[in-house]
């Protein structure tokens, strides 16, 4: 059965993206080397930057976390101090990296139900002039909150801090002008909004920053500078590249263009989100976040207040219908998540909502009075 993934990644991909992986390719083959070159250059275009503007793309084998860890463990030097702005599990993951690599670091925490604020960041930086780097998550997949990276970027520029953004689950699904956002390092991966398959992360960053990473890496395979230098030297990866994932990604980038680029994809995801919000509100579900700070990538829904609701059974029955949702990851609140990204369309979202309705009925879960949501 064809499965639809309403998750934060890996996502539902098109048949043609998967078909791009049907032919073997050698890692030194010019067809492959060319694909890598195209991908690196096209990623800059998607971020509205260029080599002429001083930006570079580095591809890193592995999942998204490998890309973040490559940046964190390479960019923060011995004398540097990293400030991590955290309001969810992905911010905490960066804290873990800083601990493992024994970086000088500090953490400014915000509740999971709130955004990271520029005001608190300013206050913190004023009190801690030793900070050199600031890391922030854009779309915090823990909840679905969108942190105001434009405002945080402006603060980083004002205070002359290197700004590192985990835009994993948003890049390609949200228009981003990396230069205007004052981002020094942006990290995302092959299997999120560009709708490729898992295999690698990519880092779009300022060349001037990259050059400072030379000799600073704390791991051989995740050394960002060496990875870049390798790609620059002969267009090849230092170690075995995810060849087929890269070919799929190049196809996914073509399909993104054919859809109308990032603006069109953002529009589709937003339509998915509105369709989901409307349908779930009609069923009586409450969302975890206030609407003003909720992004259009993924939404956390509170468990229904009914003794008959059992998430494992709910998940399994949707799974049996080919519809895959995602468990929650919140500290104290019971919630599950539904993603709007990947090759899913408003009609798929309607199918999911209908299936949720049927499963609740089967399970005897009585929902509170149904609300009509005005969109
Ligand atoms: C998906 C995601 C990551 C990377 O997770 P992997 O499992 O390593 O791919 C990092 N940050 C955010 C916000 C994400 O959504």
Q: Are 349 and 272 in contact (CB under 8 A)?
A: yes
Residue nearest to atom 4 of ligand 1 (CA): 64
Q: Are 84 and 107 in contact (CB under 8 A)?
A: yes
Q: How far is the CA of 70 from the centre of ligand 1 (A)?
A: 14
Q: How far is the CA of 202 from the centre of ligand 1 (A)?
A: 12
Residue nearest to atom 12 of ligand 1 (CA): 168
Q: Are 83 and 134 in contact (CB under 8 A)?
A: yes
Q: Is 63 in the pocket of ligand 1 (CB under 6 A)?
A: yes
Residue nearest to atom 2 of ligand 1 (CA): 168
Q: How far is the CA of 290 from the centre of ligand 1 (A)?
A: 23
- List all residues 6 or more positions away from 224 whose beta carbon is below 8 Å from its beta carbon: 58, 60, 70, 71, 73, 74, 75, 203, 210, 213, 217
Q: Do 16-258 and 261-363 come out as alike in CATH topology?
A: no
* CATH node for 16-258: 3.40.640.10
Q: Are 14 and 333 in contact (CB under 8 A)?
A: no
Q: What is the pLDDT of residue 343?
A: 98
Q: How far is the CA of 233 from the centre of ligand 1 (A)?
A: 29
Treating both helix axes as pointing N-terminal to C-terminal, what angle do 261-283 and 243-259 enclose, rounded to 10 degrees? 80
Ligand 1 mutation target, pool 90, 116, 192, most atoms within 8 A of CB: 90
Q: Are 192 and 247 in contact (CB under 8 A)?
A: no
Q: Is 137 in the pocket of ligand 1 (CB under 6 A)?
A: yes
Q: What is the pLDDT of residue 372?
A: 54
Q: Is 88 in the pocket of ligand 1 (CB under 6 A)?
A: no
Distance CA 36, CA 200 (A): 12
Q: What is the pLDDT of residue 207?
A: 98
Q: Is 171 in the pocket of ligand 1 (CB under 6 A)?
A: no
Q: Is 8 in the pocket of ligand 1 (CB under 6 A)?
A: yes
Q: Which CATH number among 3.90.1150.10, 3.10.129.10, 3.40.640.10, 3.40.50.10860 corresponds to the domain 261-363?
A: 3.90.1150.10
Nearest C-alpha neighbor of 130 from the set 167, 105, 98, 147? 105
Q: Please report, for the chain, the start and end positions of each structural domain, with discontinuous segments joined by +.
A: 16-258, 261-363
Q: How wide is the angle at C-alpha 330 spanned by C-alphas 325 and 336, nearest 5°?
A: 20
* Closest atom, ligand 1, to C-alpha of 68: 10
Q: Is 188 in the pocket of ligand 1 (CB under 6 A)?
A: no
Over the chain (375 residues), what is each successive 10-residue block's mean pLDDT? 92 97 93 96 98 98 98 98 98 98 98 98 98 98 97 98 98 98 98 98 98 98 98 95 98 98 98 98 97 96 95 97 94 93 98 98 87 52
């Amino acid at each position: 059965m064809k499965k639809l993934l309403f998750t934060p990644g890996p996502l539902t991909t098109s048949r043609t993206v998967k078909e791009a992986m049907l032919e073997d390719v050698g890692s030194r083959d010019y067809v492959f080397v060319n694909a890598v070159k195209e991908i690196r250059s096209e990623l800059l275009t998607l971020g509205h930057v260029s080599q002429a503007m001083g930006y570079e793309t580095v591809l890193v084998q592995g999942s998204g976390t490998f890309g973040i860890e490559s940046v964190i463990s390479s960019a923060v030097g011995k004398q540097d101090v990293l400030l991590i702005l955290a309001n969810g599990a992905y911010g905490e993951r960066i804290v873990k990296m800083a601990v493992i690599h024994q970086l000088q670091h500090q953490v400014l925490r915000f509740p999971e139900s709130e955004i990271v604020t520029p005001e608190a960041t300013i206050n913190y930086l004023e009190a801690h002039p030793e900070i050199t780097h600031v890391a922030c998550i854009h779309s915090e997949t823990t909840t679905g909150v969108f942190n105001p990276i434009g405002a945080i970027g402006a603060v980083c520029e004002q205070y002359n801090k290197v700004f590192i953004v985990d835009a994993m689950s948003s890049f390609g699904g949200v228009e981003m002008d990396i230069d205007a956002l004052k981002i020094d390092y942006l990290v995302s991966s092959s299997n999120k909004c560009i709708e490729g398959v898992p295999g690698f992360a990519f880092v779009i960053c300022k060349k001037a920053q990259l050059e400072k990473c030379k000799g600073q890496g704390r791991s051989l395979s995740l050394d960002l500078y060496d990875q870049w230098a390798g790609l620059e030297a002969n267009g090849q990866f230092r170690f075995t590249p995810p060849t087929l994932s890269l070919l799929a990604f190049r196809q996914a980038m073509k399909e993104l263009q054919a859809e109308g680029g990032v603006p069109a994809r953002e529009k589709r995801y937003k339509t998915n989100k509105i369709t989901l919000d409307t349908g779930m509100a009609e069923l009586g579900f409450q969302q975890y976040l206030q609407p003003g700070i909720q992004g259009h990538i993924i939404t956390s829904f509170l468990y229904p207040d009914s003794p008959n609701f059992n998430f494992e059974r709910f998940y399994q029955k949707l799974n049996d219908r080919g519809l895959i949702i995602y468990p929650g990851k919140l500290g104290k609140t019971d919630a599950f998540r539904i993603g709007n990204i990947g090759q899913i369309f408003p009609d798929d979202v309607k199918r999911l909502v209908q299936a949720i309705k049927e499963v609740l009925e089967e399970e005897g879960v009585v929902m509170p009075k149904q609300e009509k949501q005005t969109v």
